[in-house]
Amino acid sequence: MFRKRFAIKSTKLISLFILSTFLLGMISSSPDEGMYPLSEIQKIDLYKAGLKINIDEVYNPKSISLVDALVNLSGCTGSFISENGLIITNHHCAFGSIARASTLENNYLKDGFHAKTLFEEIPATGSTVKIIDSYEDVSSIILEAVKNISDPLERTKTIANKQKELVNAATNDAESIVAEVAEMFAGKTYVLFKYRIIRDVRLVYAPPQSIGNFGGEADNWVWPRHTGDFSLLRAYVAPDGKAATFSKENIPFKPKKYLKINPNGIEEGEFAFILGYPGRTFRHRPADYIKYQQDIQLPYISELYQYAIQTMQELGQDDEGLKLVFASRIKGLANTMKNYQGKLKGLRKLNLVSQKYEEEKQLQDFINANQNLKSQYGNLLDEVHRVFDSTNETAAADLWLRLIFNFSPSLATANFIINYSEEMQKPDAERRTAFQDKNIKQTKSAIELLRTNYNPDYEETMLMKLLEDASKFKKNSRIAAVDYLLEGNGVHPEDVLGTFTDSIVLGSKILQKDFFDNMLQKKPEEISAMQDQLFIFASKLKMQIQVSEKENLKNEGKLNKLYGDLVDVKMLWKNQNFIPDANSTLRLTYGYIKGYNPADAVYYEPFTSIDGVIEKSSNGTEEFAIPDNLRTLYDKKDFGKYVSKRTGKLPVAMLYNMDTTGGNSGSPIMDAYGNLIGVNFDRAYEATINDYAWNESYSRSIGVDIRYVLWVLDKYSNAKNILTEIGL
Ligand code: ASP
């Protein structure tokens, strides 16, 4: 069913060509690039590439396969490695949970964590596990619903409603089944995925940060890399096997499949593959989209995040408690910031925007050369430009409006209260999803969480920065709420904005529980009648957000149709099938353990070793500090059976030419026999650009070698219980 995706869409189009021979001549996309959806796995010649087991053992919807060992772990990937629900993933994927469980007395982030029995395992708060249950092509249902709709806003809404309908019908709480509809090719193909959900996830093992996050931000997105980026979690279910939140009665989950570990690892040049949940790529987007990213989104966000990180670092400088509070937030922002900086560098180096425009010029020539194509697609690219010309006008304001609540808990809370008061006037079914009875508790707790670990100095600094930025936006991209503050005030804008931030926002009681609870009782007119400046400001923001969201939906509707056509005509032009962009659905990628040339005359080998850990530790900074026990083991050369047979060294990390992106963090790296030989955790700096354009010459991903994982468990932590559980 799902296979239909790759067929050329309309019969009308097919009749444009004498297509039978033409289609037969289609070649599949390059064997190297590609995050293959499950439906495509059987079509790739994995045997030729090096796979030594039957493809059915990798994925077979009719029986148990490696795919059944995979888990989606709140935006990351993990895999089962024991019959008792033990999961291996990245340290950075469990980082938030480890930080939340840490206190100054029991600092698991700093010192690591090791449960020697099930009894000692602790809740990994914030982590949820999803296991794929089934999938189904629902393109025809969705496309049928929008067949006769020409209004773009209506189109977006209808698609969203149909998706919601399908999801609701497929969700089965009693069986712990949740559902999602994923758009594979915009405007063309949609797949309904069902997942089994597990809500009780516990921490089993985390190395100390000085191993699991060795090199910190300095080494993030960088090769050569020496980070032992792994952690172990366990999935628990109620005694009847159903999903349940944490409870002492819960028991370890028995997965249908778990991965076997190959303790001998892998060597340079050998075949490997990865199954995982890559987040988002944008390779099929037009030049205008990449230009928007390059000119607006990437620079603004990386600059803002840098400012936020610096602020948190300064505030936490002499305060260990604050440092712990900020640790996870800093890590998240720094990860995105450096990724965006890498992307910007890559975009400029490759001149990708110009390349894409040039490609589109050639595509236009191809279209124009055929009368039938011209009548169907002649205006396609112009229409895409028109949409982007209009969105670019207000892009700075739209982006700002998307970011402001992330940095101001007070404004986010005021916004919630206003929305709550309005939505609660409506019948349940007409409310926005977040405010429907079944979701309101969760939405409310997310807002209440803003009060935990709240830091007024941080809010003050960030809000001032955002308000000042907004005060400088150009004419078409103004923020009405900020203009309202500045209106008629003769004094310097900084003074007005400063007074607003200090007296109105920080002076408000909005983050006090009693005040908050009381506000939730109020009707919209009662809130307006209060004439509270904070709520006036938040209402103005809300009004502009509504306009911006509506405009956005309209543009999405236009682009949804245009992107679908763009992929169709590009397939004809390139005489080639495409793989859909990553969209957080399960994919397979394969390749080889392989180095590369990041710059002229520089060659990067594909393995690092423990020698590099020791070399880097001499740098003396906190990020490169190593635990004493690790140095002792190194000095004694106590590497056990974990050294590489080829190099004689203890490998730490490895490099390979597989196609991965964010979300692939924690993905199992498997050898030709489907055995676990590493855990994917990053990409090289040059490869951050592969979200827009993949190229074998610079696309390299990074994983931690299983031999290092086992060495740390065995020699460093003496985690015999875990080694026994995983059969070693
Ligand atoms: N380390 C990356 C992340 O956290 C993984 C990747 O994007 O390759 O998103």
User: Residue 567: inside a domain, yes or no?
Assistant: no
Q: Is the pLDDT confidence value at 582 over 50?
A: yes
Q: Is the pLDDT of residue 30 over 60?
A: no
The answer to whether residue 366 is domain-embedded is no
User: CA 372, CA 332: separation in Å to the nearest integer?
Assistant: 50
Once rounded to an integer, what is the mean pLDDT over residues 458-481? Answer: 96
Do 389 and 269 belong to one domain? no
pLDDT surpasses 50 at 1: no
Confidence band for 625, pLDDT divided at 50, 70 and 90: very high
> Residues 425-442: what's their mean pLDDT?
92
Clarify whether residues 558 and 598 are in a common domain. Answer: no
Q: Of all helices (H) and strands (E), which one includes residue 592?
A: strand 587-592
- pLDDT at 19 > cutoff 80: no
If you measure from the C-alpha of residue 343 to the centroid of ligand 1, how many angstroms do you get, rounded to a whole number? 13
Residue 662 Cβ inside 6 Å of ligand 1? The answer reads: yes
Number of domains in the chain: 2
Residues 408 and 527 in one domain: yes
Q: Which residue has the tokens 């189904």?
A: 136
281 lines ligand 1 (CB under 6 A): no
Domain end marker among 510, 528, 562: 562
Peptide bond into 427 cis (omega under 30): no
Q: Is 691 in the pocket of ligand 1 (CB under 6 A)?
A: no
Residues 596 and 508 in one domain: no
Measured in Å, residue 683 CA sits from the centre of ligand 1 at 6
The predicted pLDDT at position 223 comes to: 97
Residue 478 forms part of a structural domain: yes
Q: What is the pLDDT of residues 283-298, one digit of tens each?
A: 999 999 999 999 999 9
Nearest CA to ligand 1 atom 1: 682
> Does 403 share its domain with 433?
yes
Give the strand pairing for 86-89 and 113-114. unpaired
* Spatial contact of 663 and 701, defined as CB atoms under 8 Å apart: no
Percent of the chain with pLDDT over 70: 95
**Among 530, 562, 594, where does a domain finish?**
562
Residues 630 and 658 in one domain: yes
Minimum mean pLDDT among 31-35, 39-43, 337-341, 702-706: which range?
31-35
- pLDDT at res. 637: 97
Residue nearest ligand 1's atom 2 by CA: 682
Task: Please check whether residues 595 and 626 belong to one and the same domain.
Answer: yes
Contacts of 511 (CB under 8 A, 6+ apart): 409, 410, 413, 450, 451, 454
Average pLDDT (211-219) is 96
Looking at the fold, whether 558 and 587 belong to one and the same domain comes out as no
- Tokens 């516990």 belong to 202
User: Does the structure show a pLDDT above 90 at 209?
Assistant: yes
Query: Residues 264, 386: one domain?
Result: no
Within-domain flag for 22: yes
SS3 of residue 293 by DSSP: helix
Q: What pLDDT is attached to residue 119?
A: 97
pTM of the model: 0.89
pLDDT at res. 491: 65
Q: Pick the atom of ligand 1 nearest to 662's CA.
A: 7
Taking only the tens place, the pLDDT of each residue in 152-197 is 989 999 999 999 999 999 999 999 999 999 999 999 999 999 999 9
Q: Where is 710: in which H helix or E strand?
A: helix 706-711
Verify that 428 and 279 share a domain, yes or no. Answer: no
Q: Is the CB of 229 under 6 A from ligand 1?
A: no
**What CATH number is associated with residue 77?**
2.40.10.120
A 10 A CB-CB count for 620 gives: 7
φ, ψ for residue 528, nearest 5 deg: -60, -40
- Work out which ligand 1 atom sits closest to the CA atom of 220: 1
Asked if the structure places residue 291 within a domain, the reply is no
- Would you say residue 29 has pLDDT above 50? no
How confident is residue 12, by pLDDT bands cut at 50, 70 and 90?
very low
- Domain assignment present for 362: no
How many angstroms is it from 702 CA to the middle of ligand 1? Answer: 9
pLDDT at 447 over 50: yes
Quick: pLDDT tens for 78-102.
999 999 999 999 999 999 999 999 9
**Phi, psi dihedral angles at 276 (to 5 degrees):** -175, -175
Q: How far away, in angstroms, is 501 Cα from ligand 1 center?
A: 35
pLDDT-derived band of residue 670, with 50, 70 and 90 as boundaries?
A: very high
pLDDT of residue 32: 52
- State which ligand 1 atom lies nearest to the alpha carbon of 687: 8
Amino acid, single-letter form, for residue 213:
N
213 C-beta closer than 6 A to ligand 1? no
What range defines the domain where residue 588 resides?
Answer: 1-284+580-728
Task: Looking at the structure, tell me whether residues 551 and 587 fall in a common domain.
Answer: no
Helix (H) or strand (E) holding 629: helix 628-635
> Is 38 among the domain residues?
yes
- Looking from the CA of residue 702, the nearest atom of ligand 1 is 8
For the chain, percent of residues with pLDDT exceeding 90: 88
**Among 95, 339, 659, 702, which residue has the most ligand 1 atoms within 8 Å of its CB, making it the best to mutate?**
339
Using the 3D structure, point to which of 513, 529, 562 is the last residue of a domain.
562
Is residue 310 included in any domain, yes or no? no
Pocket test for ligand 1, best of 219, 221, 669, 681 (most atoms within 8 A of CB): 681
pLDDT at 490: 62
pLDDT digits (tens, 9 = 90+) for 53-82: 999 999 998 999 999 999 999 999 999 999
Are residue 528 and residue 631 in the same domain, yes or no?
Answer: no
Predicted confidence (pLDDT) per residue in 637-655, tens digit? 999 999 999 999 999 999 9
374 burial level (CB within 10 Å; 0-12, 13-18, 19+): middle
Q: Which residue's CA is minimally distant from atom 4 of ligand 1? A: 662
Mean of the per-residue pLDDT values of the chain: 93
- pLDDT for the residue numbered 8: 30
Mutational pocket test of ligand 1: of 669, 682, 685, 691, the residue with most ligand atoms within 8 Å of the beta carbon: 682
